[in-house]
Amino acid sequence: MSPASAILAALAIPTAGAVLIVACGRAPNLREAVTLASAGLLLATVAALVGPVLAGARPAVVLFDLLPGIPLAFEVEPLGMLFALVASGLWIVNSLYSIGYMRGNDEPHQTRFYACFALALAATMGVAFSANLLTLFGFYELLTLVTYPLVTHHGDDAARRGGRVYLGYLMVTSIVFLLPAIIATWALTGTTDFRPGGILAGAPLSNAALGGLLALYMFGIGKAALMPVHRWLPAAMVAPTPVSALLHAVAVVKAGVFVAVKVVVYVFGAEMLAGVRAVDWLPTVAGFTIVAASVVALRADNLKRRLAYSTVSQLSYVVLAAALLVPLSIVGAILHIATHAVGKITLFFAAGAIYTAAHKTEVSQLDGIGRRMPWTMAAFTVGALSLIGIPPAAGFFSKWYMVQGTAAAGNWVALAVIGVSTLLNAAYFLPIVYAAFFRPERVAPAHDHGEAPLASVAALVITAAATLVLPFFGSIPLALARAAAGP
């Protein structure tokens, strides 16, 4: 398969998967086989692109004009390559997990669930491979819309309210801020194509206008959950846990920070922003988000809510690192997209496994649960260590680059933010681990339970193992990150 057709196949496979899933709606085993097969095919297709991209090729497809002069076009560059690789790789594991979770909890509307999931992956691939802002915006909005039925899966009042916040925040930010920013970029430069070094260089923009445009972009990308546009993420936790795990720890939120990094690197260009005081607000806002969200996480008793706020905080690491505008920090930002993904998905898998097996949702209920669910809690521990940034877990390495980046940029405030946040991370994760393994059960559970269904446990063990071994196979993510960050 040529690289160009691989791009189209990456979009077509999950879409066709969704159609087949609906067609197989009455035969659950066949339906789940379709999901797993699509996920496997997708990963193989995406992986086939890695070689050419690392060799310096930029496979591209131009389909047809969406608007005069702006085509529906795709081009694979290293940043998008890494994002697509992470999302498609974790989809396989997540599908395995979903099967255990959805059957274990007897969830309704499973066909719709798997079909929307496949469509969400198609939209994610579109975001990852877009060659211009218009194409990107289309898939970005599509991702919001196809995940809405997943967020509101339960169809009750809580789901409807959560869905309102979810859709409200994401659509308001993208329509009111992101879209005008894109149109302004087009009006200023006559193009919306992503280009290394940026397209706005040389545009007639005052520094203040530059800062304003950057603000439109950064707050317009609601999926990056920069405060104060973060509230949709905790609201999305009403979804079944597999949705929270893959979409609201990986695909959707990473699409947000991915777009943020992409805009900084390929639309503005790091060189253009460097030294402009009018863009200094971005590291400040990102730093505030990191610390403030960690504090909220510390106080949250609901496990998924704590994980959600932890995600808000971790996403801003990426934005902060990208905003430092030095190559080392940008490498850190890009790596963090991958390392946080495997760590956080493990944590969500564990949260979902606890819910499936023990029907527990609050942190305060978890005393002694490590003895009943040793695999789950061991995996949870690995994920937590990765997020705190303790070697050899993957999270350490992205943090390492970020710390080096703060030094290279001479931004000591950013360094302090990362330090404080690391302590806060430890403060909200380690007590859970301690309670699970070292405290006795306070109340006997309503029913005697062990681990969650095998499929779910297998999934979380796989991602936990990936968190530990990723550093040893880290050359591919690192090479992609370096290629994207430039010399």
Contacts of 469 (CB under 8 A, 6+ apart): none
Give residues with Cβ within 8 angstroms of 416, minimum separation 6.
none
Q: Angle at which helices 133-151 and 110-129 pack, to 10 degrees?
A: 160
Closest CB 45 distance from other proteins, rounded Å? 23
Which position among 124, 152, 381, 406 is part of the footprint of other proteins (CB under 8 A)?
Answer: 152
Q: How far is the CB of 157 from other proteins (least distance, A)?
A: 8
Residues 50-109 that bind other proteins (CB under 8 A): 64-68, 72
- Contact with other proteins (CB under 8 A): which of 142, 291, 298, 426? 142
Closest CB to other proteins among residues 44, 172 = 172
| Contact status: 175 vs other proteins (CB under 8 A) | yes
Helices 395-409/327-358 angle, 10° precision: 150
> Considering the rule CB under 8 A, would residue 138 count as an interface residue with other proteins?
yes
For position 25 contacting other proteins by CB under 8 A, the verdict is no
Only one of the segments 156-164, 278-286, 321-329, 433-441 lies at the binding site for other proteins (rule: CB under 8 A); that segment is 156-164
β-pair partners for 130: 74
Q: Which is nearer to other proteins, 48 or 183 (CB)?
A: 183
141 binds other proteins (CB under 8 A): yes
Q: Decide if residue 259 touches other proteins (CB under 8 A).
A: no
User: Smallest distance from the beta carbon of 180 to other proteins, in angstroms?
Assistant: 6
Token pair, residue 251, equals 């695909």
Report the C-alpha gap between 456 and 94 in whole angstroms: 9
Among 167, 210, 377, 385, the residue binding other proteins under the rule CB under 8 A is 167
Task: Output the smallest distance, CB 442 to other proteins, in A.
Answer: 38
164 binds other proteins (CB under 8 A): yes
Helices (H), 327-394: 327-358, 369-372, 374-388
Rounded to whole angstroms, the Cα distance separating 388 from 422 reads: 6
* Smallest gap from residue 431 Cβ to other proteins (A): 38
Q: What's the min distance (Å) between Cβ of 175 and other proteins?
A: 5
Q: What is the C-alpha to C-alpha distance for residues 277 and 281, in angstroms, rounded to an integer?
A: 8
For 178, 212, 217, 282, 461, the CA distances from 208, given in Å and listed in that order, are 18, 6, 14, 13, 49
- Cα separation, 87 vs 47, in Å, equals 12
Q: Give the number of residues in contact with other proteins, rule: CB under 8 A.
A: 28
146 near other proteins (CB under 8 A) = no
Backbone angles phi, psi at 132, to 5 degrees: -145, 170
14 preceded by a cis bond (ω within 30 of 0): no
What span, in angstroms and rounded, lies between the C-alpha atoms of 14 and 228? 33
Q: Interaction with other proteins in 177-206: which residues (CB under 8 A)?
A: 179-180, 183-184, 186-187
Residues lying near other proteins in the complex (CB under 8 A): 64-68, 72, 134, 137-138, 141-142, 145, 152, 155, 159-160, 164, 167, 171-172, 175-176, 179-180, 183-184, 186-187
